[in-house]
Amino acid sequence: MSGHSTYEPKTGIERWLDARLPIIRLGYDSVIAYPTPKNLNYWWTFGGILSVCLVLQIVTGVVLAMHYIPHGDLAFASVERIMRDVNHGWMIRYLHANGASMFFLAVYVHMARGLYYGSYKEPREVLWILGCVIYLLMMATAFMGYVLPWGQMSFYGAVVITNFFSALDQVIPGLGSAITTWLWGGFAVDNPTLNRFFSLHYLLPFVIAGVVGLHIWALHVPGNNNPTGVSVKSKDDVVPFHPYYTVKDGFAIVVFLILLSWFVFFAPDALGHADNYVQANPLQTPNHIVPEWYFLPFYAMLRAVPQKLAGVLIMFGSIALLFATPWLDWAKVRSMRYRPTARWFFIIFIVAVLILGWCGGKLPDDVIIPMGKNPDGSPTGFSVVHLSRILTAYYYAYFLLVLPFVKNFEQTLPVPDSISAPVLTEKKG
């Protein structure tokens, strides 16, 4: 999409079309000739994987929507009907449900890749922000999708999440409740809520597809970052996207599909929750309301503080930090490959987020290190909520202290002059 186009229409019809709508040129320049750094590793294959995930969700979703009934009394049974009576309905639904999980797995790897190799830095700030927008939209889409089967977790998940807004009552009395009532379309999560969630769940993936288009456009202007973080300097540094990266991405996509298929065919409910096979019942709150695994780190942050509004702000703030990342990192060197200190902080960051996810699945009062007993005999001590607090603090510190200031204490390693330079001297791998 950028730079000089090398497309040459070969046939008459191509020349005719090229003069009117240069769409073949666009495709050619973006996925055939597009110059790509030749040292991209497998962490770079997740962009292609994510595109496949989006297409998969849309295709399976559209078919599900042909059979699904968005009504409080019928939704649960209609999903079961898909499982039992629609030809290969079980496969379509399991692909969609597990596809959503794998989509998040891929997006997390993709984002971690960006954080590690400094892909958010100048000149890729807009690209990064568009990625954050996609992530937000994905969260909204998946949340509303999870409500659709109208099981117990669907219902109570919807109650918990929409109730975030009622925390605003602590700022302006009545404001939060007014917003939740508006979101629900009534005074409780009910049929109108389900209907509008279905409408939005159908809409948002197409909005995501649009933003993905912008994301790729914003990628093709500065071009790919790469593991060295050194900008492309000459033709020696790049290879055409096709066939070099079509085949590498293709391989990674097939391996990813193996993982997805393993879940779909052999453990389709492993990532879900048993309670969601119980039809929603507004009168019977489940013992333990947990979101899908991909929201657990944020759920832990939400519950790390006893004050609701503060919890909600901390949770949304953790995502806001991602948007601000390009301006929080003050180091000159892009890739953490050459930043021995920052790299350790990064590894700790990843581990912290994973442990936060674990905390999100536990109860805040679950004791990790017992240090005594309550009068009723239950242990007290260092509990999940304490751990969540420490890890949340680290999450924030990573963005607000490590990224801006660690460069002042860091001895960076020598950065190669060009992409080809280390490639020619270092051995492969």
Question: Which residues contact ligand HEM by CB under 6 A?
Answer: 54, 57-58, 61-62, 64-65, 68, 79, 93, 96-97, 100, 103, 138, 141-142, 145-146, 148-149, 201-202, 205, 208, 272
* Residue among 226, 242, 250 nearest 337 (CA): 226
Contact 147, 161 (CB under 8 A): no
398 contact choice in ligand HEM, other proteins, none (CB below 5 to 8 Å, kind-dependent): none
What are residue 171's phi and psi, to 5 degrees? -95, -60
Binding mask 11-50 for other proteins (x = CB under 8 A): ---------------------------xx-----------
The Cα–Cα gap between 111 and 127 comes to 12
Give me the least distance between CB of 196 and other proteins, in Å please.
27
Which one, 1 or 348, has the nearer CB to other proteins?
348
What residues pair up with 369 in beta bridges, in sequence order?
Answer: 382
Which one, 271 or 368, has the nearer CB to ligand HEM?
271
Q: Taking contact as CB under 8 A, which single stretch among the options 51-59, 194-202, 371-379, 389-397 is the one that binds other proteins? A: 371-379
373 contact choice in other proteins, ligand HEM, none (CB below 5 to 8 Å, kind-dependent): other proteins
401 contact choice in ligand HEM, other proteins, none (CB below 5 to 8 Å, kind-dependent): none
376 contact choice in ligand HEM, other proteins, none (CB below 5 to 8 Å, kind-dependent): other proteins
What are residue 357's phi and psi, to 5 degrees? -60, -45
Which one, 138 or 183, has the nearer CB to ligand HEM?
138
Quick one: which of 6, 269, 371, 381 contacts other proteins (CB under 8 A)? Answer: 269
Quick one: which of 16, 288, 369, 393 contacts other proteins (CB under 8 A)? Answer: 288
The Cα–Cα gap between 321 and 327 comes to 10
According to DSSP, the β-strands at 367-373 and 379-383 are antiparallel
The CA-based angle 322-289-73, given to 5 degrees, is: 110
297 contact choice in other proteins, ligand HEM, none (CB below 5 to 8 Å, kind-dependent): none
* Residue among 272, 291, 290, 256 nearest 94 (CA): 272
Q: Taking contact as CB under 8 A, which single stretch among the options 83-91, 195-203, 316-324, 404-412 is the one that binds other proteins? A: 83-91
Residues, the chain, total? 429
Instruction: Give burial (CB, 10 Å; 0-12/13-18/19+) of 19.
Output: exposed
Count the helices and strands in the chain (H runs, E runs): 16, 4
Give me the least distance between CB of 334 and other proteins, in Å please.
16
Residues in contact with 351: Cβ distance below 8 Å, sequence separation at least 6, in sequence order: none
Give me the least distance between CB of 243 and other proteins, in Å please.
5
Give me the least distance between CB of 65 and ligand HEM, in Å please.
4
87 contact choice in other proteins, ligand HEM, none (CB below 5 to 8 Å, kind-dependent): none
Q: How far is CA 368 from the centre of its chain?
A: 29
Q: In sequence order, what DSSP letters do the residues of 340-379 get, joined into one string? A: HHHHHHHHHHHHHHHHHHHHHHS-TT-EEEEEEE-TTS-E
Give me the least distance between CB of 272 and ligand HEM, in Å please.
6
Instruction: Give me the amino acid identity at 317.
Output: G
Give me the least distance between CB of 291 and ligand HEM, in Å please.
11
Which one, 376 or 414, has the nearer CB to other proteins?
376
